Structure 1
Amino acid sequence: MTTPTDALDRVLHLATLVQADLARFEREEGLSTSRVHLLWVLGASGPSTQQSLATALDVTPRNVTGLVDGLVGSGHVTREPHPGDRRATLVTLTDLGTRTVDGLATSHADLADRLFGDVPAERLATFGEVLDETTQRFAQLMEEA
């Protein structure tokens, strides 16, 4: 029988494994998790203003400026004039940025398949429901704290 403490211990172990994998990725790719998240959002949304990126990432505009500066420096994105607002700029993926996002998507899908591809659909659905409930409950506990 699994107790609530056993379940939490397993979640914490999983979190440790995920963090170790992210750290490995950061070392290999030279990109922080925050920069990867910004690239992922750009890959999904297309060229975006820094303000819209700040909203999507739930960070301050100043934080986005630093992330974009780093990604411009590494050649993953460019800043281009906004066609409809001369005060704004658009952050746009470069060819390197697009290749990076494509590689991330492929890697993401591969890991999902390796982790869950052979899990029966009914069990995977139940797992997803429990994860959703746990995430919502944890978020609520954090807000209350």
Structure 2
Amino acid sequence: MTGPDTALDRTLELAVLVNEDMDRALATDGLTRSRAHVLFELHHRGPVPQRTLSTALQVSARNITGLVDALVATGFVTREPHPTDRRVVLVTPTEHGARTAATLAAGRHQLASALFDGMPANRVATYTEVLDEVLARFRELTAATAR
């Protein structure tokens, strides 16, 4: 019978494997997870102020400035003036950044398909429900210890 320790061991093993695979894939484009997260946000939202990115990634303004600076330096994004508000600067993906984000999104979809296609839909749904419950519990535990 599988107990809580085994369930946690499998969860940690999966986390390590996913992180290692993600780091390898991102390294080919010269990206870190945090920089890729910025690109994903821009891929889904379009050009936005840095403040919006800071909120979405739950990082400080200083942290998002460093991430955007690095993405500008490597040609993934630009900073453009807002068309109607001169006080606001928009972080905008370059063609290279948009293409990279689309490739990463396609790779994410391919991985999801490789992992879950062919599994009965009810098993995928159950897996997702269990993960949702575990994530909620973990968030509660970490929130309680952060106080």
* 1:94-136 alpha-carbon deviations (Å, 9 max, x no partner): 1001100110111010000000111100000000000000000
Cα distance in 1 between the residues matched to 2:37 and 2:23: 14
* 1:24-67 alpha-carbon deviations (Å, 9 max, x no partner): 12322210100000000000000000011101111111111111
What is residue 90 of structure 2 aligned with on the other side?
Answer: 90
- Post-superposition offset of 1:23: 2.1
Say if 2:104 is the partner of 1:104. Answer: yes
In structure 1, list runs of 5 or more residues that go unmatched: none
What is residue 74 of structure 1 aligned with on the other side?
Answer: 74
What is residue 62 of structure 1 aligned with on the other side?
Answer: 62
Cα distance in 1 between the residues matched to 2:22 and 2:101: 15
- Post-superposition offset of 1:87: 1.2
Question: Which stretch of the first structure deviates more once superposed, 111-120 or 25-34?
Answer: 25-34
What SS does the corresponding residue of 2:90 show, helix, strand or coil?
strand
Counting only pairs closer than 5 Å after superposition, residues 31-70 of structure 1 correspond to structure 2 as 31-70=31-70
Cα distance in 2 between the residues matched to 1:118 and 1:124: 10
What SS does the corresponding residue of 1:29 show, helix, strand or coil?
coil
Cα distance in 1 between the residues matched to 2:45 and 2:20: 28
Cα distance in 2 between the residues matched to 1:10 and 1:21: 16
Cα distance in 2 between the residues matched to 1:94 and 1:115: 31
Question: 4+ residue runs of structure 1 moved beyond 4 angstroms?
Answer: none
Cα distance in 2 between the residues matched to 1:57 and 1:27: 20
Cα distance in 2 between the residues matched to 1:133 and 1:124: 14
What is residue 142 of structure 1 aligned with on the other side?
Answer: 142
Cα distance in 2 between the residues matched to 1:40 and 1:81: 21
Alignment TM-score, normalising by the size of structure 2: 0.96
Partner AA of 2:132 in structure 1: D
What is residue 16 of structure 2 aligned with on the other side?
Answer: 16
Aligned length: 145
In structure 2, list runs of 5 or more residues that go unmatched: none
Cα distance in 2 between the residues matched to 1:58 and 1:84: 26
What SS does the corresponding residue of 2:124 show, helix, strand or coil?
helix
- Post-superposition offset of 1:82: 0.8
Partner AA of 2:110 in structure 1: D
